[in-house]
Amino acid sequence: MRIFIVILVLVFVSKEAQAWGFKNGVLHNSIWLEQAAGVYHRESRKGRYQLTYKEAKAVCKYEGGTLATYDQLEAARQIGFHVCAAGWFDKGRVGYPIVKAGSNCGFGKTGIIDYGYRVNKSERWDVYCYNPHAKECGGVHTDQQKVFHSPGYPEGYQDEQICYWHIRVRYGQRIRLHFLDFDIEDDTACLSDYLEIYDSYDDVAGFAGRFCGDELPEDFISTGNVMTLKFISDASVTAGGFQLEYIAVDSSTISENYTDSYT
Ligand SMILES: *[C@@H]1O[C@H](CO)[C@@H](O)[C@H](O)[C@H]1NC(C)=O
Ligand SMILES: *[C@@H]1O[C@H](CO)[C@@H](O)[C@H](O)[C@H]1NC(C)=O
Ligand SMILES: [Ca+2]
């Protein structure tokens, strides 16, 4: 049954996968667009590079935040915030955070690619905002052990959520996921609302399962030291949400029969 669902979902996902990955140099639908250390990237509703400095400030303010400072952007970058799109940040400066050097972005360098303080504040770019109190929806976890949950839990989650959790533990360790509570709008192929597990650094490779309904998914152990979880809810019908725990385990301590011995 589970294998059947996985195959069905794989067919669906592989069709969708073409739309994922790099588009105009921006890694779309990936953890990298989510917030890290309170910093997040926004583009105008009209699309890329449409915001003047004044509009950029207004975008952040509207969401209860401020323009990110250079130091905040760099702090976020150091825990994996990577966006290939130039945006305004504090004091009329423009740039973007690069973690992985690539030929198509950031001139092959890593760090904050800094376009400097712009003289012309009517230039149009994206924006980097800072808001440490932003609605909890995803994040980057590097602790050895952590419990986290769907937004608003133990209240039900809301419509139209897109959350990514990126878990990264020490090299040589693996990640054991254990579900504590699970209730997501049910439908046979989990097309409405769902939680997906990716045994990889992003949601492009390593698809390992899609879950909905109210049955606790089985424990899952990553093959490497990274894992990505993606939660999507559509425009109607919500449910109780989920809570789960992960623990970093040393690869050598994992036996073939871990599911039996885990309590
Ligand atoms: C400032 O930038 C805008 C948008 O690129 C441009 O239309 C305008 O001519 C520029 N102004 C000056 C003084 O260069
Ligand atoms: C598997 O479990 C049994 C007992 O349930 C235990 O004796 C055995 O050592 C375990 N296997 C490994 C490789 O740890
Ligand atoms: Ca729904």
For 176-191, the pLDDT digits (tens) are 999 999 999 998 888 8
* Structural domains in the chain (count): 2
Mean per-residue pLDDT over the chain, rounded: 81
Residue nearest to atom 14 of ligand 1 (CA): 120
Q: Partners of 183 in the beta sheet?
A: 241
Domain boundary pick from 130, 163, 184:
130
Residue 241, in any domain of the structure: yes
| Ligand 1 pocket residue status of 120, Cβ below 6 Å | yes
- C-alpha 203 chain-centroid distance: 9
Say whether both 123 and 146 belong to one domain: no
Say whether both 48 and 150 belong to one domain: no
Say whether both 40 and 124 belong to one domain: yes
Candidate of 122, 124, 125 to mutate for ligand 1, largest count of ligand atoms within 8 Å of Cβ: 122
Candidate of 255, 259, 260 to mutate for ligand 2, largest count of ligand atoms within 8 Å of Cβ: 255
Residues 117-162 have pLDDT tens digits of 999 999 999 999 898 765 557 777 889 999 999 988 999 998 877 7
Say whether both 119 and 145 belong to one domain: no
Domain boundary pick from 130, 161, 191:
130
The ligand that comes nearest to the alpha carbon of residue 185 is 3
Domain that holds residue 213: 139-253
Residue 109, pLDDT > 80, answer: yes
Residue 24, in any domain of the structure: no
Domain boundary pick from 85, 109, 130:
130
| pLDDT greater at residue 200 or residue 16 | 200
Q: What mean pLDDT is predicted for residues 7-11?
A: 42
Residue 17, pLDDT > 50, answer: no
Query: Which sign does the torsion angle of CA 145, 71, 86, 103 carry?
Result: negative
**pTM exceeds 0.75 for this model:** no
| Ligand 1 pocket residue status of 122, Cβ below 6 Å | yes
Residue 1, in any domain of the structure: no
The ligand that comes nearest to the alpha carbon of residue 254 is 2
For residue 256, what pLDDT band results from cuts at 50, 70 and 90?
A: low
186 Cα: distance to centroid of ligand 3 (angstroms): 9
What's residue 201's pLDDT? 77
Residue 12, pLDDT > 60, answer: no
Say whether both 146 and 208 belong to one domain: yes
Q: How far apart are CA 166 and CA 250, in angstroms?
A: 19
